Amino acid sequence: MDTLLDPLSYAFFQKGLIVATISGALLGFIGVYIVLRGMSYIGHGLSHAIFGGYAAMQLFAAQLYVLGAGLWGVASALAITNVARRSRLGADAAIGVVTTASFALGVALFARFGSSGPAFDNALFGSILGITNAQIFWLLVVTAFTGIVVFTRYRALMFTTFDPEVANVSGVRTGRTEALLMVMLSLAILVTLTVIGVTLVAAMLVIPAVIARMLTDSFAKMLMLSTVVGSFAGLVGMYASYFAEVPSGAMIVLVGAVIFIIVLAATGARGLRRSAGLDSHTETPARQGVR
Amino acid sequence: MSSPLISLRSVDAGYRNSTVLHNVTLSVSRDSFTGIVGPSGAGKTTLLRLLLGSMKPQRGVIDRAARLPVSYVPQLETVDWNFPATVSECVLMSRAARRVPWASRAERGEVAAVLDRLGIGDLGERHIRELSGGQQQRMFLARALIRKPQLLLLDEPTSGVDISTRHAVLHLLADLHADGMGIVLTTHDLNGIAAHLPHLVCVNKHIVAEGTPEEVITPDVLEETFGAQMEVLQHLGMLVVVDPGGPRRMVS
């Protein structure tokens, strides 16, 4: 027992535990919308895009890197949405072009000029070292913002996710709703990046949501379950990372993967049937905009 | 005829650099019970989208009554039926302006009433994947009707459903029209749907003909609309379209 409580005696670990648990919950919560829209790849792309902004801001105004990376991420998200909607490129191709270019820029800037902020490895794979109270504050702000938006726009978000064309003609401003979702996603990735890491954030967007989908056919329950699974993976993964002495992001994702395997084994064909099609980037005529 | 709810005057419409519909002039009102008939790619859905207001014309004018409540029923295959939602949840999506996630008592009553009217009152808590094609169509109708529209637009409402469901959907639409709702639907089913409607618009990149089935379902109009020769017979007072180039000749 003492061994389990031992890491809690360190202030940095306490902060890490709080951030990991809330990060897992936030990514799990918002991941439901991403997964149900068949846009799992966007989390992967956006985290890489934000890395570019993160690196660039280190050069010009290191103390503002959170703000700069956030704006970069939001701009990337809106660019992806815009490119996918207006051009003949699919969302996958748009994500591939916009975000990998941004990531490449980040790598180039880090390699050429180095970092005055968090280390390169930490940005990629997550670290609990050096978490500040300000980071916890912003994580809480983004979590509260996301919760309020989803609460007040629950039906509009659900309708836009399920049937965007009919939502649009039924009075839902689908363009604005999609943009709001992209802003929430960008902010969520930004404030969870320090603990989870650029390369692993996407997994925490997808894994809890897929697990929740295998367990329920109810949208509201899926939101709750995904949030719980995400926070559990964050909590247990953070603990495990301390004892295993591996980056926190990697351990959090591994815990999520283990839960996935257990749920897959327990739900069997029923779970597979429920989660069928989540990875298909099938474009409905409405999303394609052509007919 | 009551005053038009939507009027299209000399409208061209299409996507990006291509024009799908040319010089379309058409009015719909609460008296309308109209079928838009044409082959695949003729511009039926584009015409429906112009009426919906979800796409803008490339040329021409569209006049629309102010604050016109219009509901739309899309084709069944446009959504993911594995989406985690019950029938009631899907119907309530149409009430997207509500600022809290849960349904009010009044909303629950309205949902129950509309599902009852459509004969699926016992399926409210059923997952949408578990519905038959006909039940899915009725759920879409319920979602449209709960907005209390003056005009209901339907895209191929009977495609992929069996004959009895097709009859049931047609009767239901006739009841709604009798209650004062304008109805416009697209179909390529001449015998099963179009011949039973009071007003038809034949489309193939432009409006080929418009009028009652007796005026429109003629060999000349059908050939211009579908690009194939067809015969029109009378059977028990009903028009029946026969495609002489169909499978029987190919087999023989």
Domains contained in chain A, CATH given: 10-280 (1.10.3470.10)
Q: Which residue has the higher pLDDT, A5 or B223?
A: B223
Per-residue pLDDT for A153 more than 60?
A: yes
- Cα B50 versus chain centre, distance: 13
The pLDDT of residue A281 is: 42
- Tell me the pLDDT tens digit for each residue of B89-113: 999 999 887 888 888 999 999 999 9
Contacts of B86 in chain A (CB under 8 A): 217-218
Confidence class for position B123, pLDDT limits 50, 70, 90: very high
The pLDDT of residue A10 is: 87
- Cα B96 versus chain centre, distance: 23
Per-residue pLDDT for A287 more than 70?
A: no
Cross-strand pairs, B184: B34, B153
What's the average model confidence in pLDDT over A124-150? 86
The pLDDT of residue B159 is: 79
The pLDDT of residue A288 is: 39
Q: For an interface test with A, which of B36, B93, B98 has the most A Cβ atoms less than 10 Å from its Cβ?
A: B93
Phi, psi of B54 (to 5 degrees): -85, -5
CB contact under 8 Å between A217 and B127, yes or no, is: yes
What's the one-letter identity of residue A71? Answer: L
Distance separating alpha carbons of residues B147 and B143, to the nearest angstrom: 7
The pLDDT of residue A119 is: 62
The pLDDT of residue B165 is: 81
ipTM over 0.95: no
Looking at mean pLDDT, say which of A42-51, A140-149, B98-107, B131-140 comes out highest.
Answer: A140-149
**Which range among A1-5, B1-5, B14-18, B211-215 shows the weakest confidence by mean pLDDT?**
A1-5
Structural domain spans, chain B: 77-148
Q: Nearest CB to B53: which of A163, A169, A217?
A: A169
CB contact under 8 Å between B74 and A286, yes or no, is: yes
Phi, psi of A184 (to 5 degrees): -60, -40
The pLDDT of residue B33 is: 95
Confidence class for position B141, pLDDT limits 50, 70, 90: very high
Neighbour tally for A121: CB within 10 Å: 11
- Tell me the pLDDT tens digit for each residue of A18-38: 999 999 999 999 999 999 988
- Tell me the pLDDT tens digit for each residue of A39-81: 777 777 888 888 777 777 766 665 666 677 778 877 887 777 7
Phi, psi of A158 (to 5 degrees): -65, -45
- Tell me the pLDDT tens digit for each residue of B192-220: 788 789 999 999 999 999 999 889 888 89
Confidence class for position A282, pLDDT limits 50, 70, 90: very low
The pLDDT of residue A88 is: 59
Confidence class for position A211, pLDDT limits 50, 70, 90: very high
Confidence class for position A98, pLDDT limits 50, 70, 90: confident
The pLDDT of residue A29 is: 96
**Which residue of chain B comes nearest to A221, CA vs CA?**
B84
The pLDDT of residue A60 is: 67
CB contact under 8 Å between B72 and A165, yes or no, is: yes
The pLDDT of residue B237 is: 77
The count of residues in chain B is 252
Is the CB of residue B54 less than 8 Å away from at least one CB of chain A? yes
Per-residue pLDDT for B81 more than 60?
A: yes
What's the average model confidence in pLDDT over A190-199? 79
Distance separating alpha carbons of residues A157 and A175, to the nearest angstrom: 11
Name the region of A251 (left: φ>0; alpha: ψ -120 to 50; beta: rest). Answer: alpha
- Mean pLDDT computed over every residue of chain A: 82
CB contact under 8 Å between A170 and B45, yes or no, is: no
CB contact under 8 Å between B147 and A170, yes or no, is: yes
**Which residue of chain A comes nearest to B126, CA vs CA?**
A217
The pLDDT of residue B121 is: 93
The pLDDT of residue B252 is: 44
Per-residue pLDDT for B25 more than 90?
A: yes
Per-residue pLDDT for A291 more than 50?
A: no
Per-residue pLDDT for A105 more than 70?
A: yes
Is the CB of residue B127 less than 8 Å away from at least one CB of chain A? yes
CB contact under 8 Å between A172 and B83, yes or no, is: no
Per-window interface: B 65-94 vs A, CB < 8 A: 70-72, 74, 78-80, 82-86, 89-90, 92-94
Q: Which residue has the higher pLDDT, A113 or A254?
A: A254
The pLDDT of residue A90 is: 66
Distance from CA of A274 to the nearest CA of B (A): 7
CB contact under 8 Å between B96 and A172, yes or no, is: yes
CB contact under 8 Å between A155 and B15, yes or no, is: no
Q: Nearest CB to B78: which of A36, A165, A274?
A: A165
Residue ranges with strand state E in chain B: 6-15, 18-28, 33-37, 59-64, 70-73, 151-155, 182-187, 199-203, 207-211, 231-235, 238-242
The pLDDT of residue A284 is: 39
Residue ranges with strand state E in B91-196: 151-155, 182-187
The count of residues in chain A is 291
**Which range among A78-92, A134-148, A251-265, B175-189 shows the weakest confidence by mean pLDDT?**
A78-92
Confidence class for position A283, pLDDT limits 50, 70, 90: very low
The pLDDT of residue A209 is: 95
